[in-house]
Amino acid sequence: MRTLEFSAVRFRDMPSKAGFARSIMPDQIDKLCIDTIRTLSMDAVEKAKSGHPGTPMALAPLIYTLWQRHLRYDPQNPLWPARDRFVLSAGHASMLLYSTLFLAQVREVDPDGNATGRPAVGLDDIERFRQLDSKCPGHPEYGHTTGVELTTGPLGQGVGMSVGLAIAAKWRAEHFNRPGLELFDYRIWAICSDGDMMEGVSSEAASLAGHLGLPNLVWIYDQNHITIEGSTALTFDEDIATRFEAYGWNVQHVADANDTAAIDEALSVAAAAKSQPSLIILRSHIGYGAPNKQDTKEAHGEALGADEVRAAKRAYHWPEDTIFYVPDGVKEHFAAGVGSRGAKLHADWQALERRYRDAQPDLARELDQMRTFRLPDPWDAGIQNFPTDEKGVATRDSASKVLNAIAASVPWLMGGAADLAPSTKTQISGAGDFEPGSFGGRNFHFGIREHAMGTVVNGLTLSGIRAYGATFLIFSDYMRPAIRLSALMQIPSIFIFTHDSIGLGEDGPTHQPIEQLVGLRAIPGIVLLRPCDANETAESWRVIMALTNRPACLVLSRQKLPTLDRGKYGPARGVAHGAYILADPDGAAPQAIIIASGSEVSLAVAAQESLGSAGVPVRVVSMPSWELFEAQPQRYRDSVLPPGICARVSVEAASTIGWDRYVGREGAKIGMRSFGASAPAADVYEHFGITAAAVEEAVRAEIARARSQS
C-alpha cells in the first residue's frame, strides 16, 4: 500500500459520527467542506455502481475555493443575468457539481424561470445518482438540473461553449452598458480535463478565444495524467502551456490541487486579466485519498468498491461507516460564503438594474425579450414578398435579404460563417464585426473552425442571443456534436447550410452532400427546413425566429431556383406546416402525388405540368420540413397526403433513406444512391437521373402499379 501525503490540515481520529461533528474547530471548516464534497461523490458513485469518482475526489478543493471565494453567483437566484457562469466541461465528474449545488443550497427554478421553493439538488437526488428522474443524471444536463449552465459530457463541448458564453458577456457589456450603469461584467469559469485537451474542438475554441482576447474567460485544466486506458503518456505528451501561450492565453501553474491558497491566488490573477483569456494548469491526483486506486485508471470511470471507499474516508479522517453524511456547519459555511456574497452582489445589481430601467427603457425592454426569446413587435415587417421570377434566385441569396431585414428589427440576431460569408451570404450589413478590442459587432469571423463555431453558437444562444453559424452543408459533419447538443438542451440555435446538393456542381463529390440531410433529420428535436424558392425561404425564417426550444437547420441552394407564382401555386405560408399542397390538377382528382423539397420542387412542378397536358392529374406537395409536418394533426397530414392515393414519388437530390415514410415501401424515390460527380450542375442532375422527365416517368409507373394492385 502506497503512503499518501496529505497537504491539507488533518483531523484527529474520530470514533463516531457524533463525536466527529463536535470535534471540528473553526479553522478546519474549509477542509471539512472539501471532504464533504469528496465523500458525497464517492458514496453516490458507489451506490449507483456507476460513475466517475476520481475527479471529484481530486478537484473538491478547486471547486470549493472557486465557489466560496470567487464565483459571482446567488444560490437563491441562480438565473441572475449578471452571474458568473461555471462550466464543468469534464462532465463525467458530474458529482463534483451536484455535491456543490447541494451544499451551496442552490434553489430550483422551473422552465419559465420561476422559483419553485425546492432545492435544485437534494440529498435524495444525490442518493439516486444516475437513476431515472433524479436531478443528478450521469452527465450534467441543461434544463434538467438548475445550476447546470449547459449540457456537458462529450469532451471538448463544454469549453467550446464557454467561449460562446464569454463572447456573449462581452457583447452584452458593449451593447447594454452605459456610463454609471454597467450591468454586465461577468466571467466564465470552466473546468476541463486531459480528454478535453485532446479533443480537436478545444484547440479550435482556444485558438479563437486567444485571437479575440477574451479576458473574462478562465479554463482550469485538471492535469491528472489519467484516462480510461491508463496514463496519458500512452498518447498525450505535448507541452500544453506552450501551446496555449502560442494561442495568446495567459498561463499559470498550480502544482498541488490541495493547495487552496495557491488556487485562490491563481484564480485572483485570472480574474484580473485585461486582454487575454487565462489557463490555469492544476496538477491533481485522480482518486485522491484512495490508498489503492489513487492515480490509477480504475479511479477514473468506475466505483471504488466498498472497502476502498472506507479506506479513503479513513485517509480523510472521516467516519468510515457513514454514507451521504453532511456534518453540521458545512451547509451553513457555504451559506456564509457564496450564499452571503452572492446575495449582496445580486441585491446591488438589482438596485443598479432599477436605475437602468428608468434611464434606458428601450434597452431594458430588449433585455427582457432576450431572456425569454421573445421578439419585438413587429419584427418581420421588413421581410419582402418576392415577385414571380422564372430565372429566380439562389435561396442563399434570398435568405440573405431576409436575414438582413430581420436583423434590422432584432438587434440581438447575430452570427457568422466559417470563413465562408461571401459564399453563404450571411453577413449583416452595417452591423460591424466582433473582433479583438471591439466587442460590439454582430458579424463573427469564426475562421475555418466549424466544430468550434457550432459550440460558440450554442454558448451565445444560452445567453439569450439569437445566434447563427453558417457553412456548406457537407461540413455540417464537422458540427454534428454541437448540433446534437443544441437539440438535447432544447435551445434555438440556428445553423445555416448552403451548397445543399449535387447542384453545387464542379466542386464534385468531396463537396456534394448526400447523406447529410437524413443524418441531420435523425437528430431528435431538430427542425430542418429546405425551402424551394425565395418566398419559402422567407417563411422558413419566420418559423426559425419563432422557435424557443428547438434548434433549426436552414438548408439553402447555391444555384438559382425559380420564384414560383403564388397566385397560381399554394401560398408559401404552408411552410409552417412542414408540407403543403403546392399544386393540384384542374377539375380532376389527383391520381398520384409528387413530394419534393428544395431545388427539386421545380422539377416536380415541371413534371406535373407535362403530365397534366397529357391528361394525367397529379398533385405536387412541397415538403420543406419533415419535422414540422409530423407535428401536424393527422387530419391535416391526411389532407395533404390522402391515404387513398398510393401512387407516390419523392424527389430530393440527396440520400433517399427515409422517404418511404411518405411514398410507402413500394413508392418511387428519386434521389442519390451514390456519391456525386464533378461537372456543371445540369450535367450532374442529368447523369444521376434527377430530372423532370425522370419524375414524369416514375409517376406513370406508379400509377400503373397502383392500378394493377387495386
For 447-493, the three-class secondary structure string (H helix, E strand, C coil) is CCCHHHHHHHHHHHHHCCCEEEEEEEHHHHHHHHHHHHHHHHHCCCC
Examine the pLDDT at 3 and tell me if it is beyond 90.
no
pLDDT in tens, 50-94: 999 999 999 999 999 999 999 999 999 999 999 999 999 999 999
Q: Which of 111, 81, 72, 147 is nearest to 370 (CA)?
A: 81
CA torsion, points 558, 562, 563, 568, in degrees to nearest 10?
-150
Which CA distances in Å does 204 have to 157, 414, 468, 681? Answer: 11, 20, 18, 33
Q: What percentage of the chain reaches a pLDDT higher than 90?
A: 95
Angle 672-677-678 from CA coordinates, rounded to 5°: 145
- Phi/psi for 132 (5° steps) reads -60, 130
Catalytic residues: 450
Distance CA 181, CA 357 (A): 10
CA 109 to each of CA 24, 112, 503, 517: distance values in angstroms, whole numbers, following the listed order: 34, 8, 48, 36
304 φ/ψ sector (left φ>0, alpha ψ -120 to 50, else beta): alpha
Antiparallel, parallel or unpaired: β 466-472 and 413-417 = parallel
Q: Which residues of 147-174 are buried (b: 16+ CB within 10 A; e: fewer)?
A: bbbbbbbbbbbbbbbbbbbbbbbbbbbe
> Residue 480: its pLDDT value, please?
98
Number of alpha carbons in the 13 Å side-chain half-sphere of residue 362: 6
Cα–Cα distance, 324 to 287 (Å, whole number): 18
- CB proximity list for 262: less than 8 A, separation 6 or greater: 254, 255, 256
Separation between Cα atoms, residue 381 and residue 395, nearest integer Å: 20
Determine the 3-state secondary structure of 217 from DSSP. Answer: strand
Antiparallel, parallel or unpaired: β 592-596 and 618-622: parallel
Q: If you compute the radius of gyration of the chain from its CA atoms, what whole number of angstroms results?
A: 29
Over residues 221-236, mean pLDDT: 96
At CA 681, angle to CA 675 and CA 683, rounded to 5? 85
What lies within 8 Å, CB to CB, of 443 at 6+ separation is: 414, 415, 416, 421, 427, 428, 431, 432, 433, 434
Split at pLDDT 50, 70, 90, the class of 26 is low
Element (H, E) at 221: strand 217-223
> 389-562 is classed in which CATH architecture?
3-Layer(aba) Sandwich (3.40)
pLDDT of residue 17: 57
Identify which of 196, 195, 192, 239 has the alpha carbon closest to the alpha carbon of residue 217: 192
CATH 3.40.50.970 fits 17-345, yes or no: yes
pLDDT value at residue 111: 84
Question: Locate cell 478545444: which residue?
Answer: 202
The domains of the chain are located at 17-345, 389-562, 575-709
Indicate the SS3 state at residue 190. strand
Q: Is the pLDDT of residue 16 over 70?
A: no
Q: Which amino acid is at 97?
A: L
**What's the confidence (pLDDT) of residue 579?**
98
Is a pLDDT exceeding 60 seen at residue 322?
A: yes
CA dihedral (53, 58, 64, 67) in degrees, to 10, reads: -80
Q: Which three cell numbers stand for residue 30?
A: 474549509
Place of cell 438535447: 488
How many Cβ atoms are within 10 Å of 2's Cβ, its own excluded? 8
Distance, in Å, from the CA atom of 294 to the CA atom of 2, rounded to the nearest integer, reads 9
Same fold across 17-345 and 575-709: yes
* CB-CB contact of 92 with 153 (8 Å): yes
DSSP string for 328-380 = TTHHHHHIIIIIHHHHHHHHHHHHHHHHHHHH-HHHHHHHHHHHTT---SSSS
Give the pLDDT confidence of 86-106 residue by residue, as tens digits. 999 999 999 999 999 999 999
- The grid coordinates listed for 379 are 419584427
* Overall pTM > 0.85: yes
Which pLDDT does position 631 carry in this prediction? 98
Which has the closest alpha carbon to 655: 487, 554, 522?
Answer: 522
Rounded to whole angstroms, the Cα distance separating 569 from 542 reads 20
What average pLDDT score do residues 682-702 get? 98
CA distance 338 to 70: 8
User: Phi/psi of residue 159, each to 5°?
Assistant: -70, -35
- Give me the pLDDT at residue 520, please: 98
Residues 621-669 pLDDT 10s: 999 999 999 999 999 999 999 999 999 999 999 999 999 999 999 999 9
Alpha carbons 117 and 123: distance in angstroms, whole number: 16
| Contact between residue 164 and residue 456 where contact means Cβ atoms under 8 Å apart | yes
Q: Which helix (H) or strand (E) holds 205?
A: helix 200-212
- Domain covering 575-709 assigned CATH 3.40.50.920 in the classification: yes
44 CA to centre of own chain: 28
Where does 476-600 have alpha helices with state H?
Answer: 476-489, 516-521, 534-546
What is the Cα–Cα distance from 492 to 375, expressed in whole angstroms? 13
For cell 438594474, the residue is 353
- Contact between 253 and 276 under an 8 Å Cβ cutoff? The reply is no
8 pLDDT more than 50: no
Number of H helices, E strands in the chain: 27, 23
Contact residues for 398 (Cβ-Cβ < 8 A; gap 6+)? 386, 533, 534, 537, 538
Give CA separation, 133 vs 128, 129, 144, 247, in Å: 9, 10, 9, 42
User: How far is Cα 344 from Cα 350, in angstroms, rounded to an integer?
Assistant: 10
The pLDDT value given to residue 9: 33
Mean residue pLDDT across the chain: 95
DSSP assignment, residue 412? T
In terms of DSSP H, where are the helices of 49-86?
Answer: 54-69
Task: Tell me: pLDDT of 362 over 70.
Answer: yes
Locate the DSSP E strands across 577-698: 580-583, 592-596, 618-622, 648-655, 668-672
Q: State the amino acid at position 242 in one-letter form.
A: T
CA distances from 480 to 2, 293, 557 (A): 44, 36, 20
CA distance 190 to 129: 23
DSSP 3-state percent helix, strand, coil across the chain (nearest 5): 45, 15, 40
